[in-house]
Amino acid sequence: NDHAYFITEPSGTDRVMALAGKEQIEIKNIMILGGSKVGINTARQLSKKYNIKLIEQDKEKCFNLADELPDTMIINGDGRDIDLLKEEGIDRMDAVIAVTGNSETNIISCLVAKNNGVAKTIAAVENMDYIHLSQNIGVDTLINKKLIAANFIFRYIRKGQVINLTSIHGVDAEILEFEVQPNSKILEHELRNIDFPKTAIIGGVIRKGIGHTVRGSFHFQPKDRVVVLSRSECIHTVEGFFK
């Protein structure tokens, strides 16, 4: 029941999945619950590649959605109605994304989906207390707009050239992406000779659009984008290598 996090080049994905005893799931059919702004934008983006079915309770809104999302099947109904979900083929879905305005509805809908064999479930929640339960209640991913906004804010108040930042739910760690500057401390020596914190791991480097696995003999270059997994207590030390 361990939750393990891997950073891999694309060519290593199959190997990681095999080591974890997991099978690659091909996503084709997706059900979205809720015609909110998030639901609409999600359907608009995903309909370019997947078969999308969107369920919305407001009948009038469904007519507008049908005009706005021509490549998405719009269903008027309540996402909490288990019979409706079954009637609309939830057991044939590869993923369910619940983004109604009610956190509990989103979670319950995803649990129903899981019970019907759906491989991937995502629920939007407003209640922060639910975030750390994501690994225990059966929903694959919980997303929270406040946390997403906080990550964007932290990116700008962190020291060093932080390009991206995200937290791992239920884990006292953050994933940060830095851009190496011409005078960054991390340029001084190869990785094995840099006194990098023991509670932080450099997962990889993107150089000119190509991902590189980092070993002890790796030399960093300006403009490298470096992905770091760091425990919270050493983030300030990590930032010092990228100023």
Mean pLDDT of 9-32: 88
Please write the tens of the pLDDT for every residue from 94-110: 999 999 988 888 888 99
What is the predicted pLDDT for the residue at 132? 63
pLDDT at residue 89 tops 80:
yes
* Position 170 confidence tier, pLDDT thresholds 50, 70, 90: low
CB of 90 closer than 8 Å to CB of 113: yes
Q: Write down all domains in the chain, each with its CATH number in brackets.
A: 10-143 (3.40.50.720), 149-240 (3.30.70.1450)
pLDDT at residue 167 tops 80:
no
* Position 210 confidence tier, pLDDT thresholds 50, 70, 90: confident
pLDDT at residue 136 tops 80:
no
Mean pLDDT of 7-13: 84
Distances (CA, A) of 63 to 59, 76, 116, 230: 7, 9, 29, 47
In order, the DSSP letters of the chain are ---------GGGHHHHHHHTT-------EEEEE--SHHHHHHHHHHTTTSEEEEEES-HHHHHHHHHH-TTEEEEES-TT-HHHHHHTTGGG-SEEEE-SS-HHHHHHHHHHHHHTT-SEEEEE---GGGGGGTTTSS-SEEE-HHHHHHHHHHHHHSSS-EEEEEEPTTSSEEEEEEE--TT-GGGSS-GGGS---TTEEEEEEEETTEEE---TT----TT-EEEEEEEGGGHHHHHHT--
What is the predicted pLDDT for the residue at 51? 96
Report how far residue 204's alpha carbon sits from residue 187's, in angstroms, rounded to the nearest whole number. Answer: 15
Backbone angles phi, psi at 230, to 5 degrees: -135, 140
Q: What does pLDDT average to over the chain?
A: 86
